[in-house]
C-alpha cells in the first residue's frame, strides 16, 4: 500500500514590497484551491483585530482562487511577513519605509520660579510617532505628578508638548526630547533627539534694581538729614533774601540726586 504524499500548496503573491509611510498598499494572493482556508497573518499573528477595526480589509471573490489584503495608510505595525493561508509555506515580506524624523528645541529656555514650563518638541514627525522626555534625570512617556505630556493637536502627536507646573530653582538643567517610530526601535535612521537648557529666574529678581535705587535714596536722605542737623546747630539768623552756602549745598544734593530719581517714575 502506497502512502499518500502531501505536497505543500504553492501560492503567488503580488504587490509592492516597499511602501512609504501613510501610503496605501495591497497584497494579492493567488493560485488558491477551493478547499484552502483563507486566513491572513503577519509574522504568524492573526490580523482579525485590525480587520475588525477597519484598518485592514480583505476581498476574496468566489471562484477566483485569489484574496487581496489592503490598507489605506501604511504604519510601522504593517512591516512584516504576510501569509494568506496556513496551507502554504510561501510568504510575502512588506517593508514600510519611514523618513528619518527630526526634533528641535530652543538652545535655552527661561522660566521664572513658580511659573509653568511649556515646551514643544518641534520638527518633522508623523502621526503615531513616539515621543519621550528627560526632565530632571527622569524619563517620561506619559504624565506623572507635576510633569504633564500633552497632544500637539495641529500635528496629531501625543507627547510632543511638555508642561511642568511650579518650576523650582533646582529644576535648572538640560531637558531632552526624543522621537522614534517605536519604543524598541534603536535604528539611528529612525530616531532623533533635541535638548534645551532650562534657566530658572528668581521671582524677586526684578525687584533688586528697584530696591537698590531705593537704598541709594535712603542713604542720600540720611546724609541730608545729618547735614541739616549739624547746620541748624551752627546756623546764625540771616535775612530771608540771603542764601547761605550751606543752603546752596542742600539744593545741589536735592537737584542732582533726589529730583532725577523721582522724575524717572513719571
Determine the Cα–Cα distance for residues 128 and 124; give it in Å rounded to an integer: 13
β-pairing, 173-180 vs 157-164, is unpaired
Domain co-membership, 114 together with 197: yes
Q: Among 69, 97, 125, which residue terminates a domain?
A: 97
Residue 1 lies in a domain: no
Domain count, the chain: 3
Determine the 3-state secondary structure of 219 from DSSP: helix
Domain co-membership, 155 together with 187: yes
Domain co-membership, 92 together with 58: yes
Per-residue pLDDT of 244-266, as tens digits, reads: 555 544 555 555 555 555 555 44
Domain co-membership, 41 together with 16: yes
CATH code at position 138? 2.60.40.10
Provide the Cα torsion 64, 67, 70, 75; round to 10°: -160
Range of the domain at 239: 207-263
pLDDT in 10s for each residue of the chain, 266 residues: 444 445 567 899 999 988 888 889 999 999 998 878 899 999 999 999 999 999 999 999 888 889 999 999 998 789 899 999 988 889 999 988 777 889 999 999 999 999 999 999 998 877 678 899 999 989 999 999 999 999 998 888 899 999 999 999 999 999 999 998 777 777 777 789 999 999 999 877 667 777 778 888 888 888 888 777 777 666 655 544 455 555 544 555 555 555 555 555 44
Domain co-membership, 176 together with 129: yes
Task: Provide the whole-model pTM.
Answer: 0.52
Domain co-membership, 191 together with 113: yes
Euclidean distance between the first and the last CA atom of the chain, given in angstroms as a whole number: 116
Residue 124 lies in a domain: yes
Q: Among 36, 64, 97, which residue terminates a domain?
A: 97
Degrees to nearest 5, angle at CA 108 with 107 and 113:
165
Q: Among 201, 217, 245, which residue terminates a domain?
A: 201
Residue 6 lies in a domain: no
Per-residue pLDDT of 158-178, as tens digits, reads: 999 999 999 999 999 999 999
Residue 2 lies in a domain: no
Domain co-membership, 74 together with 130: no
Helices (H), the chain: 48-53, 207-234, 245-253, 259-263
Residue with cell 540720611: 222
Amino acid at each position: 500500500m502506497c502512502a499518500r504524499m502531501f505536497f505543500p500548496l504553492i501560492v503567488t503573491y503580488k504587490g509592492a514590497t516597499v511602501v512609504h509611510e501613510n501610503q496605501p498598499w495591497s497584497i494579492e494572493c493567488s493560485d488558491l484551491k477551493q478547499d484552502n482556508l483563507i486566513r491572513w497573518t503577519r509574522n504568524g499573528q492573526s490580523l482579525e483585530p485590525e480587520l475588525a477595526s477597519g484598518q485592514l480589509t480583505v476581498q476574496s471573490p468566489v471562484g477566483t482562487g485569489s484574496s487581496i489584503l489592503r490598507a489605506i495608510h501604511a504604519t510601522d505595525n504593517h512591516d512584516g511577513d504576510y501569509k494568506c493561508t496556513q496551507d502554504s509555506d510561501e510568504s510575502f515580506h512588506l517593508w514600510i519605509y519611514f523618513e528619518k524624523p527630526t526634533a528641535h528645541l530652543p538652545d535655552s529656555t527661561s522660566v521664572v520660579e513658580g511659573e509653568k514650563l511649556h515646551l514643544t518638541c518641534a520638527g518633522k514627525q508623523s502621526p503615531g510617532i513616539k515621543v519621550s522626555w528627560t526632565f530632571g534625570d527622569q524619563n517620561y512617556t506619559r504624565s506623572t505628578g507635576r510633569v504633564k505630556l500633552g497632544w500637539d493637536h495641529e500635528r496629531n502627536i501625543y507627547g510632543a508638548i511638555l508642561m511642568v507646573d511650579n518650576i523650582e530653582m533646582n529644576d535648572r538643567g538640560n531637558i531632552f526630547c526624543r522621537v522614534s517610530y517605536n519604543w524598541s526601535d534603536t535604528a539611528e535612521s529612525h530616531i532623533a533627539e533635541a535638548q534645551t537648557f532650562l534657566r530658572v529666574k528668581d521671582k524677586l529678581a526684578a525687584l533688586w534694581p528697584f530696591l537698590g535705587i531705593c537704598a541709594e535714596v535712603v542713604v542720600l536722605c540720611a546724609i541730608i538729614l545729618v547735614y541739616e542737623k549739624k547746620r541748624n546747630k551752627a546756623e546764625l539768623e540771616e535775612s530771608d533774601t540771603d542764601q547761605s552756602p550751606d543752603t546752596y549745598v542742600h539744593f545741589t544734593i536735592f537737584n542732582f540726586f533726589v529730583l532725577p530719581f523721582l522724575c524717572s517714575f513719571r
